[in-house]
Amino acid sequence: MKVELAKTAGFCFGVKRAVEMVYQQAENALPVYTYGPIIHNEEVVADLENKGVKVINNKKELEELKEGTIVIRSHGVSKEIQDSMMALDENGNPKFTVVDATCPFVKKIHKIVLEQSGQGRHILIAGDKKHPEVEGIIGWCEGTVTVIGDKNDAENFYTNRDEKLTFVSQTTYNYMNFKELVEIISKKGYDINVLNTICNATEERQIEASMLAKRSDAVIVIGGKQSSNTRKLFEICKQECADTYYIQTLSDLDLEQFKSFRSVGITAGASTPNNIIKEVHTSMSETSFEQLLEESLVTIHNGKVVEGTVIHVKEDEIVLNIGYKADGIITRNEYTNTPNVDLRTVVKEGDAMQAKVLKVNDGEGQVLLSYKRLAAERGSKKLEEAFESKEVLKAKVAAVLDGGLSVIVDESRVFIPASLVSDTYEKNLDKYKDQEIEFVISEFNPKRRRIIGDRKQLLVVKKQQMQKELFEKIKVGDVVTGTVKNVTDFGVFIDLGGADGLLHISEMSWGRVENPKKVFKVGDEVKTFIKDIAGEKIALSLKFPDSNPWIDAEEKYAVGSIVTGKVARMTDFGAFIELDPGVDALLHVSQISREHVEKPSSVLKIGEEITAKIVDFNFEDKKISLSCKVLEMEAVEEEKAEETAEETQE
């Protein structure tokens, strides 16, 4: 195995300087404190603690100190914290001896933002706002400051066009990412002064890590969990090499992981001590590929769970390298319960998989494995835990059965009876096929193969909550929009999102509605207003007051007016003529004609258009009386008058 160590791995100048300064102070006199961990490396911090160096974590702890030496760590601190460290005692003497170990590159940024913000410029900082270095930089800005953490922050950044900007960066920020952020904000047209404050050592380290990852089968990145620059190295290497491993010390290194690699690259963050890097490098270099392979060979037996890497996939078979002298085989039937699955569509070469050993030797020297049985065991365990904790699960409906639905959770089947599928009766469950649904486990008895799911109780709880929220916000007179849920002969039930409202047939129009089913259908969106609320019953109406046809009826249908309408219905005593939707007038049988009419139906028919004169109007009782007879008599009188006038002229 070829092992290559990055030239830039380990302490950078600033970190090395800061660590040496703390060790030097620890030898001189105690107590010694550092404001925050001197570097993001647990090994170094622990060693310093053993030597009596304590960590101050915040301003409150600083103010509680009486004396001692305080070392400002390489990340730097804000101006406010620095001024607190310089505080004088009651005699006018400095309370503390302050040793400034701030990295010179960070100090440079402090100076830049102090000057630029003092000139009224808006400071932008590329970095992690929770990182101590960035917190310190912010503390040296006198005006407006904004931290740009990523591309999304840059795209969402806006400020006044007249405002001048200065853009700096956290010293350990990814250089390519910084360039991308600068480009995004520059395109917005601001007056921007860009200063690349990324440490040269950081940039060189990142470039070398990227190149190392490209030419290696695997990469080891060494550094503390809290180290920002180490995390960035890991991200850079991971982009170029999928098999990149993040460790803190040699004890985190699993040599078995490297048995199949021909070349391994090693790099480390700026806060990683050289002794840790050397231990890892030495361990990897002294172990040959053959030794690793031999040491890593597993012993297996029926029922054992093994992990392997997919090395070949056929339509009905998967071949796994399980670190044994023979490969493992998973047939289609031992991969899933779903029939006729083309395994090439669900698994690819290079995938890591776990499986259960069914036979150490299948008769042809290969190990017969099962993926689905292991998944089913884990699925069963998951379902048991979900049953006990009442966890809400989500899964796709695998099959619609006569009595309910079947869903599969990690190869374990769950049956949801039809009565527990919904909170209302569902005649046809086919609509749930292939749908992803939520449910809880209401019964768990794997011995009897009885695992029951319940979707209904979730819907009931959700509906109760929605109903509560709905009734808290609605009142009589509110205009609401809902969806038609059911249509009957007497009205329509409309889902208002938590409760149903009834739109009665009498409230559908100012006019007449013969059959609601001719006007509405399930799924229609309807805008109505609330006419009444009685307990949990909501009465709806489409008879909006401002559209009431009787508003201007007194003027529109004044006595003596001649109107035209259609015969809407008839009785033995007369016919009702619809003048407008919601406005009917009575044409009494005696007023239909000058001639005697025994029954209205003998001379009129439904829908026939009638012209008549209004002879009576009662607004209070909403009654209008018509007469065709009067019009006929007036016509006769007019004709006689014309004839008399002609005779006189002769």
What's CA 163's distance to the chain center, in Å? Answer: 34
| Angle between helix 200-214 and 228-240 (nearest 10) | 30
Measure the CA dihedral 374/380/382/386, to 10°: 170
Backbone angles phi, psi at 525, to 5 degrees: -95, 125
Residue 379, token pair as written in the block: 């699925």
Residue 537, token pair as written in the block: 């019953």
What is the distance between the alpha carbons of residues 454 and 440, in angstroms, rounded to a whole number? 5
What is the distance between the alpha carbons of residues 373 and 381, in angstroms, rounded to a whole number? 12
Map residue 266 onto helix, strand or coil: strand
Map residue 93 onto helix, strand or coil: coil
Closest CA relative to residue 195, chosen from 112, 299, 82, 95: 112
The answer to whether 54 touches 32, Cβ cutoff 8 Å, is: yes
Beta-carbon count within 10 A of 490 CB: 9
Annotated catalytic residue, options 61, 133, 317, 391: 133
What is the distance between the alpha carbons of residues 276 and 532, in angstroms, rounded to a whole number? 77
Task: Report the side by side order of strands in the sheet with 244-247.
Answer: 2-5, 263-268, 218-222, 244-247
438 CB-near residues (< 8 Å, 6+ apart):
392, 393, 394, 455, 458
554 has catalytic annotation: no
Token pair 């622990």 in the structure block, residue: 46
Backbone angles phi, psi at 245, to 5 degrees: -120, 135
Task: Point out the residues that are catalytic.
Answer: 133
